[in-house]
Copies of this chain bind each other. A is one copy, B any other.
């Protein structure tokens, strides 16, 4: 844009026009990627995750970007480079997806994407449509349009795609350490977040961390008949219930010792800003059939999800869970528990406190095993880099609403790792909506999100170059 003092020889307008006219082809490309069931948590899909990485290498190659699939001890990374002038951005997205169960709740094959007309507009329906293949491709398509119109990219870009985000990113830190020189840039861009209230563009500057733990309790050495042993043998589900019931007190406060170490009070000016956002509290819970915030009763729902830590039970299984009834007294029960972390909460210290706290509650005859599932601290972005204010300005132009700096209940640990291992600030922007059903059956991504998302990236690249 000439107003930014950049040469008219690479103007934005024809790039946006190219994006508009190429939209159907861009969706076809996204569909190709969505058809690959790249579920990273399930070893059965290892070959598919690999195939998705190959697809990305080939797609980058089709716009003249040399990219390589880089092996790790888990799933591969994809790294590509575009040399050039101006600032150097590192773009990150993930090409793995969540599992699809319960499959019976899907209205169509999660890996057979389709455009569906809905009362709220056209959507792309598939696992990963929003999280994160569709979002990732908004950036790639913006680059494709820029290249098609101007024959080159507007700035220096490193593409960095991960295949393990949905399974705790076990290879990420080693990879960042080993390839720090190659991955260094001026700023990192991540497209894995959403619009504020599904309408206003948002730059997320505050993200929660995540700690995942699986507890397996064993009582009797084998499954027993509850007629023969019921009453006399300790049932591990009874013990697990007590442990999980003790996670929260009656006011929603989490009872693991030292849990609140490092949890900051919300600064009054941020609280005032959030209170002024006009957040639709009733709609937020009402959309999912609820009416009352379930967390710490001395905080608002927005504070609960943006600035307060949580403990959630993500899954539990033990004994007979099939049709009908079986009077078994089970040997084992397992539960998956995760904690969203804020401020300076230390996930590694907290894992130890949690395990110790569980163990102190076990009666004689019940033993616990623990399995670690990822640990990342919360992130608080610095917004000093000029890209933040530049981006805020152009996003307002694209979406017709002022962009806000917001918080986020989710965890995007990679932003923290970029700071720690590459020294990079990260700007998190994304086009997801609250009803995208990510991690749930019938995930979708609005065609509007995809289209305006591509246009937004074109604007951002133009603004920061």
Contact = CB atoms under 8 A, between A and B. Distances in A.
A305 B228 contact: yes
Given A288-B233, A319-B316, A326 B98 contact: yes
Contact of A327 (B224, B244, B312, B317): B312
A221 B442 CA distance: 14
A247 B241 CA distance: 10
Interface of A: 40-43, 98-99, 101, 166-168, 208, 210, 212, 214, 219-235, 237-238, 240-248, 284-285, 288-296, 301, 304-305, 308-310, 312-330, 333-336, 338, 340, 363-365, 373-374, 408-411, 434, 437-441
Contacts of A313: 235, 237-238, 241, 318-319
Given A227-B340, A305-B230, A291 B326 contact: no
Given A285-B233, A320-B336, A223 B441 contact: yes
Given A294-B234, A439-B326, A410 B248 contact: no
A410 B232 CA distance: 13
A336 B325 contact: yes
Copies in the complex: 2
Given A305-B232, A319-B313, A324-B373, A440 B288 contact: no
26 contacts: A99-B322, A99-B326, A166-B326, A220-B288, A222-B288, A222-B441, A223-B440, A225-B438, A226-B310, A227-B408, A228-B438, A231-B296, A231-B409, A232-B293, A232-B409, A234-B294, A238-B245, A241-B241, A245-B246, A292-B365, A294-B363, A312-B329, A315-B321, A321-B334, A324-B373, A328-B440
A314 B122 CA distance: 46
B230 A320 contact: no
A330 B315 CA distance: 8
A252 to B, nearest CB: 8
B411 A227 contact: yes
Contacts of A438: 225, 228
Complex A-B, nearest 3 residue pairs according to Cβ-Cβ distance, in ascending order: A227-B410, A41-B324, A221-B289
